[in-house]
Amino acid sequence: MLEKALQGSRKYWTWIFFLLLIVGNGFINYLYQFKHGLGITGMSRDVSWGLYIGQFTFLVGVAASAVMLVIPHYLHDFKKFGKIVILGEFLAVAAVTMCVTFIFVDLGQPMRVLNVILHPTPNSILFWDAVVLNGYLGLNIVIGWMTLSADRKGIKPPAWVKPLIYVSIPWAFSIHTVTAFLYAGLPGRHFWLSAIMAARFLASAFAGGPALLIILSLIVRKLTKFDPGKEPIQAVGKIVTYAMIANVFLLGLEFFTAFYSQIPGEMNSFKYLYVGFEGHDKLVPLMWTSSILAIVSLPLLIVPSWRKKEGVLATACVALFISLWIDKGFGLVIGGFVPNPFEGVTEYWPTLREASIALGVWALGFLVLTLLYKIAITVREQTAGIEIEH
C-alpha cells in the first residue's frame, strides 16, 4: 500500500515539499542546538522545561484521543465510525511520532538516549512513559495497517488484530495518565501536585484530539473524493462537547482549591499565569487568549442547532484546539516552574531557534500524517469507487 503515498497530484507534492522545507529548517536549527547546547533555547536554571516538553505533553493527548473513535466503534458497535476510525489511528501515529521527537530534541545528551533502555529504572515515570508511548505507537501502526489492507482486499482483518484493538483502549488511557504522572508526583511543585491532573489531561485530550480530527475530516472531504460523512462528524462533535465541559469543570476545581484555601503555594502559579506575579506577567495575554477561546467555543458546541452547522462546529473546534494548545502546550509546563522553589520569578519565552525546531517537529508530524492519510484515503476512494463511479 505504501506506493499510494508516491502517486499524487501537483498539489499533493507541493504540500509535501513545503513540509519538507520546514522540517529541513528545523533540522538545521537542531544541528546548531546539538553543537551549542540547550543554551540556545529560552530555558534556564529555573525554568528547565519549556516549549518542547509542553508540546510533547499536548501531543500525547492528541494521540490518546484516537480511543474516542475506537470505543464507540468496537465496544458499542457504532458502525458509523467505521470509515473514520482509521483517521483517528493514523492521527495517533503521527502524534506519537511528534511526542518522541520532542522528547529527543529536549535531551541535553541525545546520543545517550538508549540509556533509558540500557539501565531500565522502574521507579522513574519517564521510563514508563517511554514504554507506553512506544507500545502505543506500535499498536496503532499495526492495527491501522492491518485493518486498512484488509479493507482494500475486501476481507476481514486477521483474527489476532481484534485483541490488539481491545488492548489499545486501556493503553490510550495509560499514555496520558502516565504523562500526567510525570508532573503530578513531584513534591514542591504545587501547580502540578494535584490528584486530578491525570483526569484533567484525559478530559483536555478527549476534547482537543477529536476537535483536530473534525477539522482534518472536513479538510479531507474538501480535498479528496473521500467523505467521512456528516453523522460521524456530528457524533465526534458531541464527544468534543462533553470532554470540553469536563475539562473546564476540572480546571474550575483547581481554581477553587487554590483560591478558597488561600494557600500561597497553591495560588501563586495561577496568579502568575492569569494576572501576573510580583510584576511578572509575560504569559498573561496568552493565557487570557486561551480562556476567551475556550469560553467562545463552549456555547457554539453546546447549543445543538449551532453545533449541527458544520461551519460553526469547525469554528468552535479551531477555537478550542488553539485554547488547549496554549493551556496545555505552554501554560501548564511554565506555570509549574513559576514561581521557582525560592518563590522568586524567572520568566521564560522560547527563542526563534527553539520555535523553528518545534515547528520542524510539527511539520514532521504532518508529513507522517499526510503520507498515512494519503494511503488511507486512496484505499477508501478505490473501495467506494464502484458505488459512486461517475
Partner 1 sequence: MSMNRRQFLKIAGMSTVLGLGGVPVINLLKGDKSEASHVFVNEKALTAKRWGMAIDVSKFRTDDDYKKVIHACNSIHNIPDFGNSKDQIKWIWTDTYEHTFPTQPNEFIEESVKEKPFVLLCNHCENPPCVRVCPTKATFKRKDGIVMMDQHRCIGCRFCMAACPFGARSFNYKDPRLGLKPEDENTQYPTRTIGVVEKCTFCAERLSKGLIPACVEASQQIAKDAGTEAAMYFGDLDDPSSDVRKVLAGRYSIRRKPELGTGPSVFYIIGGDKNA
Q: Which residues bind partner 1 (CB under 8 A)?
A: 36-39, 41, 43-46, 48-49, 103, 106-110, 112-113, 115-116, 118-119, 121, 123-127, 130, 182-183, 185-189, 265, 336-337, 340-344, 346
Minimum distance between the CB of residue 37 and partner 1, rounded to whole angstroms?
4
Q: Omega of the bond prior to 339 within 30 degrees of 0, cis?
A: yes
Minimum distance between the CB of residue 198 and partner 1, rounded to whole angstroms?
17
Minimum distance between the CB of residue 264 and partner 1, rounded to whole angstroms?
8
Minimum distance between the CB of residue 304 and partner 1, rounded to whole angstroms?
43
Minimum distance between the CB of residue 108 and partner 1, rounded to whole angstroms?
2
* Cell 459512486, located at residue: 388
Residue closer to partner 1, measured from CB, 126 or 384: 126
d(CA 50, CA 144): 32
Secondary structure (DSSP) of 156-195: PPPTTHHHHHHHHHHHHHHHHHHHHHHHHT-TT-TTT--T
Minimum distance between the CB of residue 275 and partner 1, rounded to whole angstroms?
20
Residue closer to partner 1, measured from CB, 34 or 288: 34
Residue closer to partner 1, measured from CB, 120 or 170: 120
- The cell for 389 is 463511479
d(CA 197, CA 181): 8
Residue closer to partner 1, measured from CB, 122 or 154: 122
Residue closer to partner 1, measured from CB, 338 or 372: 338
| Vertex 109 angle, CA 108 and 113, to 5° | 120
